[in-house]
Amino acid sequence: MTLREALLEAVERLERHRVSSPRLNAEVMLAHCLSVDRTYLYTHDDRVLSGEEYQRFEDALSERISGVPVQYIVGRQEFYGRYFLVTPAVLIPRPETEYIVETVLELQPAPGDAIIDVGAGSGCIGLTLSLEIPHAHVTIADISLEALLVAKTNAAQLGAPASIVCMDVLDAVRGLFDFVVSNPPYVNPAETSRLQREVREHEPHVALFAPDEGFDVIRRLIPSAVRLLNPGGYLIMEIGLGMEERVLDLFGPPWEKLPTKADLQGIPRTVVARRKRGQ
C-alpha cells in the first residue's frame, strides 16, 4: 500500500468514527510512524509502506479511534513555537495557556528575575519562560512526581535551565519570586460529564479537577503567593469559564488587580495581580 492509499483509507475510517480533523490526524500519525515530517507524505506519496510501518500506523489509528488524543499517540505538542514531550501523566498544553507566557513577557521581566510555575505539568509555561527570558531563575513545581519526570525530560531536551520541586501548591518552597505563574486544575468535579470524552478519559484527573467547585488550588495559591512574592511581583494565573468574579474576590490587600485577559473566544482567561509595594 502506498502512503497516498494508506492516508485515504485512514481518513475514511477516522471520519466513520467521527474523529475530528480526520485528515490532519491521519497525516500527523502517519508522519510519526515513519519518523518523517508531514511534507514528506506529499513528496513521497507513491512510496510503499513496509509491513512493519503499516502495522505501526494501524496501531496508532486504532488508539485514536478508541479516543486516545493524538498528542499522546505521537508523544508531543507544540507550545509557544516549541515541541514538548507529553505523556498521559501530563495535561496536553492548550493554546490559551500561551497568554500566561505573553503576559509575563509584556511585563518585561528583568534578567535574573525569579519565576515559579505552580502546577507545571509538562513544564510548558515555566520552561518557555526559562528560554525566553535571559538569565531568569525558573522553578517548576507540581504535586505529581510523574508529571515532573516529563518536565525534567523537556527541560533537558530543550536546554531550559530550571529547578524542579515536588510539592502541594507552594508549601515547600523558600525564597522570594518576582513572578508566580500557574495554570492550576480548575474543573469542578461535579461537571465531569460536561468534559469531552477524550479529556475525561485520558488526561490526568489531578491536572483537571480541583475540589471546592474547582476553586481549591486557586484559593490556596493566592495567599501563598503573597508570602513568596517580592513587593511589586506578579501572580498570573489561568482560570476557567465563569470563574472570574469569584477569583477576583479572593484578591484583597496587598493585591492590585489588573485587567483579566480574554482568550480568542472572549472568555476571561488570564488573571493578573500585582503585590503592591510597601504592604
* Residues near ligand SAM, by CB under 6 A: 90-91, 93, 97, 118-122, 124-125, 142-144, 147, 168-169, 183-185, 206-207, 217
Which of residues 97 and 103 has its CB atom nearest to ligand SAM in the complex? 97
Least Å distance, CB 182 to ligand SAM, is 7
Q: How far apart are the C-alpha atoms of 146 and 121, rounded to whole Å?
A: 9
Output the nine-digit C-alpha cell for 77. 505538542
Output the nine-digit C-alpha cell for 240. 476557567
Closest CA to 179 of 230, 220, 143, 132: 230
Which of residues 19 and 100 has its CB atom nearest to ligand SAM in the complex? 100
Q: How many CB atoms lie within 10 A of CB 120?
A: 30
**Measured between alpha carbons, how far apart are the two ends of the chain, in Å?**
70
Least Å distance, CB 123 to ligand SAM, is 7
Which of residues 26 and 225 has its CB atom nearest to ligand SAM in the complex? 225
Which of residues 34 and 131 has its CB atom nearest to ligand SAM in the complex? 131
Which of residues 9 and 216 has its CB atom nearest to ligand SAM in the complex? 216
Closest CA to 170 of 112, 231, 217, 203: 217
Least Å distance, CB 110 to ligand SAM, is 23
Least Å distance, CB 161 to ligand SAM, is 18
Closest CA to 169 of 124, 226, 129, 97: 226
Which of residues 119 and 268 has its CB atom nearest to ligand SAM in the complex? 119
Output the nine-digit C-alpha cell for 185. 486544575
Three-state DSSP at 153 gives helix
Least Å distance, CB 107 to ligand SAM, is 19
Q: What is the dihedral of CA 12, 26, 123, 195, to 10 degrees?
A: 0
Least Å distance, CB 2 to ligand SAM, is 38
Q: What is the largest CA-CA distance in the chain?
A: 71
